[in-house]
Amino acid sequence: MTIKLIATDMDGTFLNNHGDYNRSRFAKIYASLQQQGIQFVIASGHQAVELADFFSDYPEMWMIGGNGAELMNVHAGLTAHTFSPQATAQILTTLAAYPELKIALCGTKTVYVWEHADPSFVADMRNYYFDLKMVSDLTAVTDSVVKFDIICPPDMTDQLVYELTPKLAGIAVPASGGQGSMDLIQPGMHKGTALAQLGSQLGIMPDEMMAFGDGTNDLEMLKYVQTGVVMGNAPADLQAQGDAVAPTNQAEGVLSYIEDHVL
């Protein structure tokens, strides 16, 4: 069946290692996709409002933010699923047993970190989120939380996911973003869920979709669509779970694959 929607992860997938992309090449590809009636969707752990700002030249583009908790189009506005205050409090209580974790609470616009957090962690968060606020107590944050962004020792990532999964069952799901990082997302709210919601709105079926990703937090999205394309820079075990493998993000693999297999 003809592809009507292409979704792509950002970091390590659509973006190069400097956090940018070939803008002139993409502009031509995007124009061709538009002419063929193919939607281009960004699906990321970034906030949807930040994604919309980053791609302000393409206001009709749909954004999936917060690893699936947010869905946004400049014309349609933002819809967001957030943790209840009770769930947020319970999660923070559970995480308090792991002092080695560096935690950011992500709202739809503002991200909150502890004012005494490691400076390198704060710097990394400032690079990733454009509206960062330092607070004296994370438990006092009253903003609605979309997800938890957590940095941890790389060699502990898998074990932490293993331990936190049963401890947070029914409240939050640990999703590894690679060794040294993970998100806590709401049960059932992932990139695949968001694509299903968007497809329902646009009248596009899963077998009319293609998606690109490089991490385990992309798996639900890659499995949901007709063609799940894993990047050449992704781990070998993840590549084995995709329908196809694209060149690396540094080699502009998403753009090359679209040119060769869609346009």
CATH number at residue 51: 3.40.50.1000
Indicate whether 9 and 139 sit together in one domain: no
Write out pLDDT tens, residues 190-206: 999 999 999 999 999 99
Does residue 1 register a pLDDT over 80? no
Residues 76 and 122 placed together within one structural domain of the fold = no
| Same domain, residue pair 94 and 175 | yes
Cα–Cα distance, 63 to 46 (Å, whole number): 10
The share of the chain scoring above pLDDT 70, in percent, equals 99
Give the span between the Cα atoms of 150 and 91, in whole angstroms: 12
User: Taking the model in full, what pTM does it have?
Assistant: 0.87
Q: Are residues 76 and 92 in the same domain?
A: no
Q: Per-residue pLDDT tens for 29-76? A: 999 999 999 999 999 988 899 999 999 999 999 999 988 999 999 888
Name the domain boundary from 155, 185, 215: 185
Catalytic residue of the set 9, 11, 149, 218: 9
177: left (phi over 0), alpha (psi -120 to 50) or beta: alpha
Q: Is the pLDDT of residue 176 over 90?
A: no
Indicate if 170 and 109 belong to the same structural domain. yes
Distances (CA, A) of 109 to 185, 187, 217, 226: 17, 21, 21, 32
Choose one of 133, 154, 185: the last residue of a domain.
Answer: 185
9 assigned to active site: yes
- The answer to whether residues 116 and 89 belong to one domain is yes
Helix, strand, coil shares, percent, the chain, to 5: 40, 25, 35
CATH code where residue 145 lies: 3.30.1240.10
180 and 194 assigned to the same domain: no
d(CA 47, CA 137): 22
In a shared domain, residues 204 and 169 = no
Number of structural domains the chain divides into = 2
The residues near 256 (Cβ < 8 Å, ≥ 6 apart) are: 246, 247
Under the banding of pLDDT at 50, 70 and 90, the label for residue 14 is very high
Q: What is the b/e burial string over 139-173, where b = at least 16 CB atoms within 10 angstroms of the residue's CB?
A: eebebebbbbbbbbeeeebeebbeebeeebeebbb
Instruction: Examine the domain organization and report whether 193 and 74 are in the same domain.
Output: yes
Per-chain mean pLDDT for the chain: 94
pLDDT above 90: residue 175: no
Mean pLDDT (whole number) for 82-99? 96
pLDDT tens for each residue of 204-225 = 999 999 999 998 889 999 999 9
Does residue 231 share a domain with residue 198? yes
Q: Residue 113: beta bridge partners?
A: 104, 134
Please state at what angle helix 23-35 crosses helix 253-261, rounded to 10 degrees: 30
Q: For residue 118, how many other CB atoms are within 10 A of its CB?
A: 12
Whether the CB-CB separation of 221 and 198 falls below 8 Å is answered with no
The pLDDT value given to residue 221: 97
Q: Residue 69: which of 42, 108, 41 has the closest Cα? A: 108
**Which of 185, 218, 235 is the last residue before a domain boundary?**
185
Q: Are residues 62 and 91 in the same domain?
A: no
Residues of the chain with pLDDT > 90, as a percent, come to 87
User: Do 231 and 174 sit in the same domain of this protein?
Assistant: no
Give the chain's radius of gyration (CA, Å). 18
Domain that holds residue 54: 5-80+189-261
